[in-house]
Structure formats: C-alpha cells, structure tokens
C-alpha cells in the first residue's frame, strides 16, 4: 500500500526510499498539481506520472537515469547535422505548443501520461519561470523539441517530440550544451532506456541522486531562458 496525500495540507512526501519496488518507484497518491506541490516533489527526487482516470501518482524510481551535461555523447552523424545548421533552435518561445506536441498520440504507445491537468500544471510552472522548452524550427514551423524543469543546477527532463528526422536530438544537443555552459550538475532523465544510454546517460542509485539534490537545488531562482540559439556554432 502507498499513502494518500491530503490536498488540504502543505505538500509532505514520504522519504523516497519508501517507494515500492513493484511497480518500481511508486511512492504516493493524491495531493495537488500546484507549483508548490510539484517543486517540493522535484527537490526530493519525486515526480508526478499518471494516466487519464487515475489519481495523481508520485514516483521515485531506483536507480535513476541521469546525464552529466558536460559528458553527453553526440554521434558523428548528429554532429554533422548540427554543423549543417538547417534547424533554427529557440528556447521558451513555444512552451505550450511543445508540451501539447509531446502529449499527442504516438504510433508506438497507447494514450498519454501528459493529461490536461499535467499540461496546465507545467504551463503554470513555465509562466513562473521554472519550466522550459527547447524548440527546433524549420522555415518558421515547429518540428521538434523538449521540455523540463530547471531548479538550481538540476534540470529535470520530461518529454520530447519530433516531426522531422533528428529534430528532438537537435534540441537535446542544444540543451546539454546550455546546461554545461551554465554549470548545471545533472540532467535527470527519470527512466533508463538504451537511447538515453547512447547519449551518455547512466544509472545513479536513488540515494545518491536524492542526496545530490540537496546541493543542486539550493538557492534556486526561476526565470525565462534566452530566447534562441541562432548564433550557436557547432565546429566539433
């Protein structure tokens, strides 16, 4: 059994180590999707994830898939695409469009966990300067991107999409370059996948991840990011 959180009280999550092993990381249910609840959760290594018709579910899997921004791996073919510069990359100019595209049906999945309440919650966090989007454009059309949360020196990736080949990978490449430049310590990818491993992701024990968040999220302040990456030059 997992605890049910009281939405009429301030957010208070169980310690992450009390999460279930099966399903991996399920910690609690209930609460609210307000900025206060979500920010409190992220600082403790917890995030919301649920399907339509379910209660709000909170998770903290073990281990955690993470990327160190300055150690991300980009393939030779992706670097070649970056050098060609056919994509325009912007930041925080179309957050609502990015999250809606991430929520759209996909051929390989049934349904979506980015339900209407989640979209509204993260759009509110974007307006407050906590949630951000990296977007790829071609001839004025949004063709790919990703979004996530930045708290202090930790970026919590949420989802990405593409409508053109390599469009989401281009967004990821610009994200890790930005995070490395701004001295971010970690890019949290939540769940392990072979694709993330190919980009330099590795599994971090949950206790190390949660302990690191104490330092990484300290003195966090919100704010909009730079609007675009038009002047970025990829020479390597």
- Averaged over successive runs of 10 residues, the pLDDT of the chain (236 residues) comes to 95 97 97 98 97 94 95 90 89 96 70 84 97 95 97 96 93 93 94 84 96 95 74 52
Per-residue pLDDT at 140: 94
What number does CATH give the domain 65-216?
3.40.630.70
Task: Assess contact for 126 and 133: CB atoms under 8 A.
Answer: yes
d(CA 132, CA 130): 7
Per-residue pLDDT at 194: 85
Query: CATH 3.30.70.3550 residue ranges in the chain?
Result: 4-61
Task: Assess contact for 134 and 145: CB atoms under 8 A.
Answer: yes
Per-residue pLDDT at 191: 84
Per-residue pLDDT at 169: 92
Per-residue pLDDT at 198: 86
Rounded to two decimals, what is the model's pTM? Answer: 0.92
Query: CATH 3.40.630.70 residue ranges in the chain?
Result: 65-216
Residue 180, sorted as left (phi over 0), alpha (psi -120 to 50) or beta, turns out to be: alpha
DSSP 4-64: EE-TTS---PPPGGGS-BTTBTEEEEE---SHHHHHHHHHTT-EE---TTSPPEEE--SSE
Per-residue pLDDT at 104: 87
Per-residue pLDDT at 130: 97
- SS3 string of 157-172? EEEEEECCCCHHHHHH
Element (H, E) at 180: helix 167-181
Buried b (16+ CB within 10 A) or exposed e, 139-171: eeebbbbbbbbbbbbbbbbbbbbbebebbbbbb
What number does CATH give the domain 4-61?
3.30.70.3550
């Amino acid at each position: 059994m997992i605890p049910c959180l009281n939405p009429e009280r301030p957010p208070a999550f169980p310690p992450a180590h009390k999460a279930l092993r099966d399903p991996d990381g399920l910690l609690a249910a209930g609460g609210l999707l307000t900025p206060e609840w979500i920010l409190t959760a992220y600082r403790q290594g917890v995030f919301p994830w649920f399907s339509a018709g379910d209660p709000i579910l909170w998770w903290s899997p073990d281990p955690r898939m993470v990327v160190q921004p300055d150690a991300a791996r980009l393939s030779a073919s992706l670097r070649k695409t970056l050098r060609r510069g056919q994509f325009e990359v912007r930041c925080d100019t179309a957050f609502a469009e990015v999250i809606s595209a991430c929520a759209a049906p996909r051929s390989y999945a049934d349904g979506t966990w980015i339900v209407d309440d989640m979209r509204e919650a993260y759009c509110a966090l974007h307006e407050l300067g906590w949630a951000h989007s990296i977007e790829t454009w071609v001839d004025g059309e949004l063709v790919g991107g990703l979004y996530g949360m930045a708290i202090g020196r930790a970026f919590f990736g949420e989802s990405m999409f593409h409508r053109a080949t390599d469009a989401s990978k281009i967004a990821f490449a610009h994200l890790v370059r930005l995070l490395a430049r701004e001295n971010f310590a970690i890019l949290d990818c939540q769940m392990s996948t072979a694709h993330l491993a190919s980009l330099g992701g590795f599994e971090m024990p949950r206790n190390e991840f949660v302990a690191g968040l104490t330092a990484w999220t300290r003195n966090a302040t919100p704010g909009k990011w730079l609007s675009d990456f038009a002047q970025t030059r990829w020479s390597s």
